Structures are given as C-alpha cells and as structure tokens.
Amino acid sequence: MKGVENDGAMVRIVELPTGTVTFLFTDIEGSTRLLQELGDRFQACLEDHARLLRTAIAQAGGQPVSSEGDAIFAVFREATNAVEAAAAAQRAMEAHPWPEKGKLRVRMGLHTGEGRLGGDNYWGLDVHRTARIAGAANGGQVVMSEATRSLADRHLPIGLSLRDLGRHRLKDLLQPEQLFQLVISELVSEFPPLRTLNATPNNLPAQLASFIGRERELAKITTLLAEARLVTLTGPGGTGKTRLALQSAAETVDRFPDGVYYVDLASVLDPGLVASEIAMVLDVTQSADPPLERLKRSLSGRRILLLLDNFEQVLAAAPLVGELLRAAPELRALVTSRAALRVSGEREFPVPPLGVPDLAHLPEPQQLDQFEAVVLFRERARAAQPDFSITADNARAVAEIAVRLDGLPLALELAAARTKLLPPQAIVSRLSSRFLVGGSRDLPTRQQTLKDTIAWSYDLLSAPVQRLFDCLSVFSGGCGLEEAEAVCGAESSADVLDGLGVLIDQSLLRQEEVRGESHFRMLETIREFAAERLEARGERAELRRRHAAAYTALAERAAPHFLARTRLEWLDRIELEHENLRAAIAWSLEEKDADTSLRLGASLWRFWQIRGHLHEGWERIQSIRKLGGGTPQLRAAALEAAGGISYWRGDFESAKACYREALGIERERGDPKAIANALLNLGTVVAENDYEGARVMLDEGMQLYRSVGDQVGEARIWWGMADAEFMKGDWPKVVEYLDQCLPVFRAVDDPFWLGWSLFMRGMPMQVLGDVTGAHRSLREALELFAAVRDISGIVLSLGALAGSAHLAGDNRLAARLAGAHERLRKESGTDLAAVEANRITGLDDVKAALGEDEFATLFRTGEAMTLEDSLALAVGEPSPSQ
C-alpha cells in the first residue's frame, strides 16, 4: 500500500511497511494554552515543530503516515530506528530557539505491533495502543511499550537508556501495559507521574476488545460532564451505552482526583438496594444507618465520578441520585439507562448507532473503514476468524450487514461472531429472513432488529443448547459451572459444559475467571431475551425453585467455612454470588417457603456480619422471621442469626431477646452442644449488666461441652468467661481465661476465634503495663482480620491499636488511628465494645498531650483515610519495642 510523503516542495509516493513495525505518535503538551499565549506566532512555532520532527523521522529511516493539528504519526521498520528518531527529535526540540514563554514540549509514544493497512493509513489495536501510550506521557518525555523495549534495548546508541515505569492501565481500558521511559543524556529525565488510570483511584473494568470510533460522542460527553453534574446516556439495549460510558469515564479520569467508580446495576431489581450497591463499590461498609446517609457523608467534599450502569430497571431510585448530588457538590454522575432519570439538572445524551455507509453510493473497499460500524464488524470478525479482511468480493456484503443492523454494536458483534462459519455474503442472506422480521411491532425498529439478531443466533443452536440458554436466564449476575449444572443439567440433554462453550462461541454468554474458577454471565439484553423464552416454555417457576435450592445448598456448604482457615475463598465466593442469593431469598419469601428462608438466613448471617452487610442482613432476617413456620431447629438457627446481627450492630437488648428464645427451643430439643452454644451466645450479652447471671450460663455451657468431649467448645466458653470479666473490668482474669483458650484455637487452626481472642487479650495487657505484648497481640489480630476483609474485626482493632500507640508515646499515630477507627465504626455500625475500647484508648490523654487543634487535625486525617490506608498505617508502624 502506498502513502504520501511531503518532502518540502516535492511530494513523493512511498511504500508503507506492513508486518511487524514500530509506530511513533507525538503531540504538543498544552497546545491550546500555547495558542492563546502566542497568538499569531503559534503557527510559525507549529511549522518549526513539524519540520524538526519530520527531519528526525526521515534521518532515522522512518515514514510519516499522517498528521492532524499538532499530532504526528510515523512508522518504522525497525524499533531501534524509531527510538533514535524520538531521541533526535527531543534533542532538536530542546535546542530550538522558541519564543519566550512559548517553548514547545512534545510527548511521544512508541509501540511495536502488526502494521495493518486500510486505505492509506494503518488500523487495528496496535495503532490505538500507540496513541494511548503517547497520551500518557508528559511534554518532553518518550514512553514505549514492552514490545518496543524488547527489540530496542540491546541496540541503544550511546547516550540513551531505558527506565522501567511499571505496569499501567491506559485509557483504552485494556489489560495493563509494562511501560518504559527513554532516558536521553543531557535532557530532563524526571517527569510527573504518567497520565494513566493508575494515577486516579478507580475500578473501571478491563475490556477484552479495543474501543472503536465514537470520537464525536466522546467529545460531546466530555463537554457535558464539564457542564453538568448528571449526564445520562440513553438508548435501547445493544447501542453500546455501557462501553461508551466506560470509555468516557476513562477519558475524563484526570478531572476526578478522588476517584472514578463503576457501579453495575444489571442484576439489581430492587430500587431500595441501589444505595447499598454504591456503598459497597465505594467501600462505605454497611451499618445500622441508612446507606444513603452514609453515602452523603462519604461523598461530601470529594471530587468523584460515579458511573451508574443499567439504571433502567431501578428508575424508582432516581431521586437517590439527586439527593447524592445535592449533598456532595463536587460529585458528578454518568448514568446509562433506557430511559432518562428525570432528575433536576440532568443532561440526556441519546446514544446514536455507529456510522454506516450509503449502499447507493459505496466507496472503494479500502475506504469503508471511515464508517464505524464497518470497522467494528471487521475488528470483531478478526477475533472470530483471524485472517478475516474486507475485500472487493465481500465489501458490499459487509456494508449491507452494517446497514441492515442499523449500526447497533451488539447486533454487529453477534453477526461478526458468525464469520467463523459463514462468509459475509451468507450472513446477508440470513439477515433478510432472520434478523428483520418477527420482532414486536410496538417496539422501536432498532430494538426489533436487536431482538431478531439474538433470535437468529438462538435459532442456530441445537434444541438442547437452546434449553440451556433459556435456563441460564434465572441466574442474577452470572453463575459458576457447579450451579449451572445443578439448575440446568436436567433441563438439557446436552452436557452443560459443552453447551456453555457453544454459547460463549456464539457471543451469547461471557466467561470470566474469578479466583481460578470460571464464571459465566449474560449481557442483560440477552438475558431478557432468554427470560422471555423461558416464560414461553412455562418452565420459569420450576427453574426458579431449583435455582433457590441450588443457592440454599451453596450457602449451607459455605457457612462452616466462614470461621475456618478456608474462609477467604468462601467469603469471596459468596460475595460473587450475592445477587443469586438475594434472588433465592426473594423467591422463598414470595413462595412463603419458610424452611428455605430460614436456611438461607441462618447460613448467611456470618457473611453479612464479616463483609459489612449488617444493614441488609438485618432487613432480610426480619423479613424471614415474619414469615414464620419452619422446624424448631431452623427457627433456633434463624434466631441465632438475628441475635448475632443485633450483637454486632450494638443492639444488645434485641440480641438478648433472640438468644433467650433460641435457648428455650434448644432446651426443648435436648442437644447438649446446641444448648451449650445457645448459653454462650446469651451469656456474652447478659454479662453487660448481669455478671452473675452470665457466669451461671457459661458454667452450665462448660459442663455440657465437657460432657460430650468438645474441647473447642470448652475453649469458646473460656472466651465467653473472658468477655464477662472484660465487662466487669477484671483485667488479670481476662488474660487468665484467654490463656486457656488461645492454645486450643491455634492448635485447631481456627482463625476467627484466634483473632478475637488475641484482640481481647491485647487491651487488658495495655492496662496491666505490658505494652509490647499488647501491641503484638493486637497486630496479629488485625492481620488475621485484614486477610479476609473482616470489617468488624478491623474496626475494633484500629481503636485498640490507637491505645497501643498512645501508651508507646506516639500520640500523633494514636490520633490518626482513632480517627480511622471512628469513621469505620460509624460507617459499619460495629458498635460492639466501643465504650470499653475508647476508654482503654485514652483519647482524653491523647488530646491533652497534643492540644485540641493538633489532635483535631490528625483525627480528621485519620477519618479521611480509606480502609486500605488505615490498614497500612496500623500494620506498617513499627512495634513499640522497636
């Protein structure tokens, strides 16, 4: 393929290289500002800049490909030559006599990849990657990819070296890239941090495919986000709202130093859970306070962008968004929805389809890449068929596919997946009969088209795989293989694993890897189609029943692990499946299935407690208990769950009532271990104001555990006795009883009870004068809690470690830890033992030592910390003995 090279007054036709090449992208940092400052002189500077760069490129054997404004794009056959050109260009720029206050600084990016030509320009992922690398650099800086470094490193000329900048996520949202800086002798080598996603807190998900086109839309959304605090992208399913919103968030990440956070609401059907979902993403853990109030406190004063995706099914929660924006003046929200939120100040942006060609006036095949829909189809087709290309033979068919599918990204992707089996010409013939008829007449044309697009892919499946596809719609937020087999196995004669593979190949299902296990998820639009098919089959009720049974079994299987060494794996798994578990609870309540409701509540309460879902756990356990029914054993287990949640929320009176009722049931049942456990539960809360009564209960529990030879149960009673003495304030007794149980918990490798024993032992040791031992005990406890993100343990440990720092003489650390403790305590609602912990911490003494003003400043610093920062502060400090 030939390109045009401008060599002064003469224009030459040159061959652009293909195969493995190295791309160079450059642009001027702050060109808009320079234009304003230099006025008419800027044009001359721009011409000088272009001449210097083109000279350096030509002398190193490179070829300019294109230029736009102050950006230059060049290509080299050899990576070493590209590096030499970049270095020569930077040296020339540094030596040039620029106007005063008008020095031009150019940022440069280098990347080596496949040179694919489309017309007189390159296209493909590697071109986009190079542009992103250049965009991450600072003025005067040359940044390159690992691919370029690996080819150029051994052949660098004298005066050039490379500096590893680490792995960075570029704003194209693809996987992280290892980046390197070219260090040029005699030039500046120290620069600000790269302008990548790493520079700003965010949870924007990595994408498997590059973002195609949409430059106009991105520019418009960027402008809207600067003008308005709520921007809603609207349009039917399949228009690419989510991907456009994610890319818009990535493009504007520099504007939000406090973070850009993506909240996927696709599997949330209850508007009342929207605040909880946002709170979980922002790490504002659950508490007794309403999630909305906690969000208002957390977001106030912070410059954050919230990306709320798939809002259409929770539109009743729209006023919540307005309340958050009013409470947090620096907050901005970017929303995707099929309908506008109708909130004051909202700017709606209807997402258009991708650009398509005019079939009556088609350009040459090599010119079709000017249309975004064609480029998207081509890129996705190459993912299915690596050697796919647009040729003179198939160009019209590809253009017709783009037009017939109305430029809908999802429809194009589904059609492109078929190129593995069919050429574009065959796909076109199927479009006429399969894609464009059969949709509901009262739906918009594009939505009919998308539905028929899915229907066409569906029709190509075998009957058993169709049944599997329909069945998968009962899952919320995806599912694992085990649950897919449990719920759908009997509905499909095909092997479920093979069927999942077919659905993935047809782009009807997405596979993710989570902690080494496969997780399967449908796009919500596709899931809706599958749900309609399942309803038409008349099988939805039965499959929902089996879904609830499968997730009840999962919850019961997971529950014993929540306090065991394997707890991290199971807590994370239940977190991943939380939407399905919510759906199972909802089904059990709708069907008034008391046994299933009680089993779910009894199994999940520890997860709700440990992972900070206390508010939701309380609401759900109350609904479950109101349902009534169930066997005595299940009622007792649910009462223990309700009492446990009340206990961790600091509501001892509710806990006592639940525990007393549970004890009564267990005495009637007559199981010694169950009675002993109920006595331990009740004894720990009764000890708050009835020490003697608590001791009677605990002594009885000890005898029962001994009667059945349960040594671990005995150790837990020793812990309960220590807790009673803690409430009484007998510190030597606390330590004595804990020394009885600690060896047992270590021997049986019980991290939950070990952590709480270490925590409880640390605080009285402070009072008894063993500051070093207390600190060591508290640090070990915190490390056990932090390892599994046990919010309740972290909250109380931070408060106790504040006391440890105070006793060690570091009052500044004590004040910051006390602030971190207080913030997390309020947000999580973990008020257990707060009074005792604060009394031992000695905050009044810390205030006196520092003075009110300094203490208040340090305390607020601690309050502003994230959970991760708080843990780093607490664990990273040396012990008092060091």
How does pLDDT run across 436-492, given as a tens digit for each residue? Answer: 333 344 444 444 456 777 787 788 889 999 999 999 999 998 999 999 999 998 655
pLDDT at 435: 42
Q: Which CATH superfamily is domain 2-196 in?
A: Nucleotide cyclase, GGDEF domain (3.30.70.1230)
Rounded to an integer, what distance in angstroms lies between the CA atom of residue 374 and that of residue 421? 19
Joined tokens for residue 309: 């995706």
Please name which of 655, 618, 629, 620 lies closest in space to residue 640, comparing C-alpha atoms: 655
pLDDT score at 119: 63
CA distance 318 to 314: 8
- Distance (Å) of CA 781 to CA 680, 755, 774, 806: 22, 5, 11, 18
Q: Which residues of the chain have pLDDT under 70?
A: 1-14, 118-119, 285-288, 432-450, 490-494, 833-841, 877-882
Q: What CATH code would you report for 215-350?
A: 3.40.50.300
In CATH terms, the fold of domain 461-538 is Arc Repressor Mutant, subunit A (1.10.10)
How many residues would you count in the chain? 882
3: helix, strand or coil: strand
Q: What is the CA radius of gyration of the chain?
A: 32
Q: What is the model's pLDDT at position 835? A: 44
Helix (H, G, I), strand (E, B) or coil at 432: helix
| Residue 438 pLDDT | 34
pLDDT of residue 880: 41
Long-range contacts, stretch 185-188, CB < 8 angstroms, 24+ apart: 185/159, 185/160, 186/91, 186/159, 187/90, 187/91, 187/94, 187/140, 188/140
Q: Which residues contact 224 (CB under 8 A, 6 or more apart)?
A: 231, 347, 349
> Residue 157, exposed/middle/buried by CB under 10 A (0-12, 13-18, 19+)?
exposed
Q: 């017709």: which residue's tokens? A: 400
Q: How far is CA 674 from CA 463, 574, 633, 677, 708, in A?
A: 50, 26, 10, 5, 11
**What secondary structure letter does DSSP report for 202?**
B
Strands (E), 169-259: 177-184, 230-234
Which pLDDT does position 27 carry in this prediction?
94
